[in-house]
Structure 1
Amino acid sequence: MQPDSTDPQSDPTDALSAVPAAGARRATPVTGHLRFYYGPMDCGKSTLALQVDHNHARQGRVGVLLVRMDRSGRPQISSRIGITRPAVEVSAAADLRGLVRARWAAGQRVDYLIVDEAQFLTPAQVDQLAELADDYQVDVYCFGIATDFQGRLFPGASRLVELADELRPVQVDVLCWCGLPARFNARVVAGQVVREGDTVLVADTADTADTETGQSTTEGDEIVSGSGTVGATVRYQVLCRRHFRLGDLGTTSGVQGQLAFA
């Protein structure tokens, strides 16, 4: 049956239109978006998180910055280029829905969330973020590393991959020492790539002194007490897949990786 071109309610181009008709739009519930920006160390995830927050704040939107175990050990989002902003530290037991509802109960707006180090969230917390987006129209921007030092998805990152509306690799390539793009975060203990140990072992990247031992730590290194690493110097180095598999740190093992714009 051909549409009646004289009928003002009939538009033969509706089937080709990417935008629903007004009536259809009214029937579609308004939801927030859950986005996951991911990449290896040094690719600028935290810098991008602070830039996204800045852009939204300039438009009059009100957001909350959340972080789970920032490299600095402080409740803040810290970028390797030196930009930092205070943030709410999220514990493993925190209910992110309750955090937002408490702010609403206090008469505060929450239009969006910025979540850094999102790989350390629990899968249940990622579910909570999805609920905030779907049922409360809160836009959620998550930033984090996808895989751990064994090359496996972090539980939080895995759940984000499953639930996020958008998955966006950060568009600054980090290069392995060989010059190829680096995707893997190798854990290096005493100059050797290790394959076993605690999944979560956060090392500060600043040049600081260890508070317990008094030993100075260089960039990317930290004296830590973890599985099989008590008193050892631990650092992370980004590698391409081949050199990650081989455990090959190159001739200059202190190199932390290079940045290149994709």
Structure 2
Amino acid sequence: MAKLYYYYASMNAGKSSTLLQAAFNYGERGMQVMLWTAALDDRPGFGAISSRIGLNSDAHRFDENSNIHDAVLEEHRETPLACVLIDEAQFLTKDQVWQCARLADEQNIPVLAYGLRTDFQGELFEGSATLLALADSLVELKAVCECGKKATMNLRIDETGKAVSAGKQTEIGGNERYIALCRKHFMQRLGR
């Protein structure tokens, strides 16, 4: 029986590289996968899943209006899929996570979702909250704080490196906008 998996972590934990390694492993065995990523990322390489260590691959793009279930079934009819891999899964809607669960439960297609658990204020994203509630398997990937402890939080920073404590939940950026920290250092940097 297929499962819905959620691999979650703070930034810089290797979520995208782990996803791309899984896709490579399936492909090496002659199995087809379908890759997805959030359409809202407008940085260079938009639409592509890319890791900080240089791995990348093109992917289907989802936004809040995408019907992932139907798109996967359409592709599956043409070429049987061994797995669906979703990067930036925190940006899935609640309904899209339920669609992924249906793919696993009704179509026997494993869905591996990779994403952040919380935003820069320590709040769950809609997609991550629903994945934490519904996934058959939860796997925490580890990142490292500047102190050497496990990083669990994502601190948003400004151009000068100072902590940002307010703003929109979603602001696309990499190392120039976010730092992965343990909770203690996250709170200290925010002055809490």
1:214-238, Cα deviation, whole Å (9 max, x unpaired)? xxxxxx22xxxxxxxxxxxxx1111
- Equivalent residue, structure 1, for 2:146: 177
Specify which of 77, 85, 92 is matched with residue 121 of structure 1: 92
Mapping for residues 135-154 of structure 1, pairs under 5 Å: 135-154=106-125
Q: 2:136 corresponds to which letter in structure 1?
A: D
1:44 aligns to 2:14 (yes or no): yes
Distance 1:57 1:65, change over 3 A: same
Q: How many residues align?
A: 188
TM-score, normalising length: structure 1:
0.68
Q: Does structure 2 conserve the Cα–Cα contact (< 8 Å) formed by 1:72 and 1:78?
A: no
Report which stretch shifted further, 173-182 or 86-95: 173-182
For the residues of structure 1 that align with 2:140 and 2:128, how far apart are their CA atoms? Answer: 13
Deviation (angstroms), 1:73: 5.2
Mapping for residues 68-87 of structure 1, pairs under 5 Å: 68=38, 69-70=40-41, 72=44, 74-87=46-59
- Equivalent residue, structure 2, for 1:62: 32
Q: Does structure 2 conserve the Cα–Cα contact (< 8 Å) formed by 1:67 and 1:77?
A: yes
- Equivalent residue, structure 1, for 2:63: 91
Q: Does structure 2 conserve the Cα–Cα contact (< 8 Å) formed by 1:122 and 1:156?
A: yes
Deviation (angstroms), 1:58: 2.0
Q: Does structure 1 conserve the Cα–Cα contact (< 8 Å) formed by 2:26 and 2:82?
A: no
Aligned to 1:42, the other structure's residue is in SS state: coil
- Equivalent residue, structure 2, for 1:193: 163
For the residues of structure 1 that align with 2:58 and 2:120, how far apart are their CA atoms? Answer: 28
Task: Name stretches of at least 5 consecutive residues in structure 2 with no aligned partner.
Answer: none
- Equivalent residue, structure 2, for 1:133: 104
TM-score, normalising length: structure 2:
0.91
Q: Does structure 2 conserve the Cα–Cα contact (< 8 Å) formed by 1:123 and 1:156?
A: yes
Q: Does structure 2 conserve the Cα–Cα contact (< 8 Å) formed by 1:96 and 1:125?
A: yes
Deviation (angstroms), 1:102: 2.0
Aligned to 1:238, the other structure's residue is in SS state: strand
1:242 aligns to 2:184 (yes or no): yes
For the residues of structure 1 that align with 2:79 and 2:122, how far apart are their CA atoms? Answer: 41
For the residues of structure 2 that align with 1:36 and 1:156, how far apart are their CA atoms? Answer: 10
Task: Name stretches of at least 5 consecutive residues in structure 1 with no aligned partner.
Answer: 1-30, 206-219, 222-234, 250-262
Mapping for residues 206-221 of structure 1, pairs under 5 Å: 220-221=175-176
For the residues of structure 2 that align with 1:240 and 1:104, how far apart are their CA atoms? Answer: 41
Structure having greater relative contact order (Cα 8 Å, sep ≥ 6): 2
Q: 1:246 corresponds to which letter in structure 2?
A: Q
Q: Does structure 1 conserve the Cα–Cα contact (< 8 Å) formed by 2:26 and 2:32?
A: yes
Aligned CA RMSD, in angstroms, stands at 1.7
- Name the larger-Rg structure: 1
